[in-house]
Chain A
Amino acid sequence: MKQIVGVADMKVSSNIDDSIITYSLGSCIGLVIYDSVAKVGGVLHYMLPESSIDKEKAAGRPYMFADSGIPRLFKTAYNLGAAKQRMKVYVAGGAEILDQAGFFNIGKRNYMALKKIFFKNNVMIGKQDVGGNTNRTVRLEIGTGDIYVKTSGSKEVKI
């Protein structure tokens, strides 16, 4: 079944018939994790780096932010039997508008927030398709762990 991850949303599944997809990432990040032994995987679509800008929103919509969404993605997958050492990690998105420098570069800040959390927790990124000026859609097949990425106007490719 197709599971759609909306904006500021997350889906985790252990159903081998599931395909988890998130559309149109822009500067947002699509984080995909997958454990091939447990056949558990998930996708998080977060929009902003830090929940400190609005604690109240973060409480209601934790998947909106990197720091409140990423730990929840991993924990939910662990609850379904996934193990950290087996986890394959893929990152997509974090695009930027031309000349979008400094603090205004939300795409880059989204990616840096993820790197910081991964560094602290010893998580390695397997593959990534990050930055640039393209809009991406990402899909994960739970049965196989295959990940596909599509940029607007082009065909979907398996990574």
Chain B
Amino acid sequence: MTSLQTLMKEIKNLKPIPAVTNQLLAVVDNPDSSMEDIANVIQYDPAITASVLKICNAAYFGLRNPAESIKDAVNMLGTDQVIELVLLKSGAKALCGKQEGYGLENGDMWRYSVSSAVIAKQLASTFSLKNKNTIFTSALIKDIGKTILESRVSDSAEKIRGLVQNKGQSFREAEKKILGIDHAELGAIIAKTWNFSPRMIKIIRNHHLADEKMIKDKEVAIVYLSDCICMMMGQGVGSDGLSYRFKASAMKELGVSANDVSMIIAEFATNMKDVEELLQIV
């Protein structure tokens, strides 16, 4: 078992998500916010502003007047795209490394997280949910708990594998049983330490639907579904593989059919080039 105190110490040592993320999320999902409000928040973070401008100017290579401010970038790429770039950039540092305990090579977790965020946002639009950027960010960082838990998963790999292969337990259930905490719970603790909104903490904690009652929450169910779809597509999946529970009840609650799931997969694969571009933001 791992003491919470030790984990808290390690959380403090994590590279935190930049403060601009929380400020931006507070502004973007508010329908009364203007483009100026959004630009004002972003430009307080010079590192993120610089990388958005770099991407913008690379996309429009050879411009006579390259983008010099977030406002220029918004005019060229559109508000939605700029917000997405900022949110991705803020998660990149924490997620792009390798997580050996989960059999994840460099870039695997990043690929998985970005794919899952893109699908979750697309689903949020399909269901006309207004917090699509919160949902995008929650899906992006939902596995952050793995970055701390991975060394313990590695130490107890055989025990965990035993429970998964011989006792029919999911990987999350095995983590909980052997380590006393699973990566979703730990992710929620990290999100709380980083002052994320209660809504995001809830989504991260429940992204494997450990508490089945949470299927009633559309935002949780959407991030759960996007996670299932990414597992099926396999890109960036580690040694925990597809050993998580599929809840048909969540699909029923969302009104999503098997055919809809296939369509989402087909759509994602068709737009894979756009996702490859997003991955380059690291």
Contacts and interface: CB of A to CB of B under 8 A. Distances in A.
Interface string B229-244: 0011111111101111
B14 interface: no
Contacts of B234: 24-28, 93, 95, 135
Contacts of B102: 153
Interface in B75-109: 102-104
A99 B245 CA distance: 6
Contact of B242 (A53, A96, A101, A102): A96
Interface of chain A: mostly helix, strand, loop or mixed: loop
B265 A47 contact: yes
B258 A98 contact: no
Interface size of A as a range: 35 or more
* Listed residue (A60, A106, A135) with the most chain B CB atoms within 10 angstroms of its CB: A135
B257 to A, nearest CB: 8
A153 B103 contact: yes
Nearest to B105: A152
Interface residues of B, number: 36
B270 interface: yes
A104 B246 CA distance: 9
B8 interface: no
Interface in B254-280: 257-259, 261-263, 265-266, 269-270, 272
B213 to A, nearest CB: 17
Contact of A152 (B241, B262, B265, B270): B241
A48 interface: yes
B270 A57 contact: yes
Given A25-B234, A48-B266, A57-B266, 12 more contacts: A8-B272, A26-B231, A26-B242, A48-B262, A48-B265, A57-B270, A61-B270, A101-B246, A104-B251, A107-B232, A133-B242, A153-B238
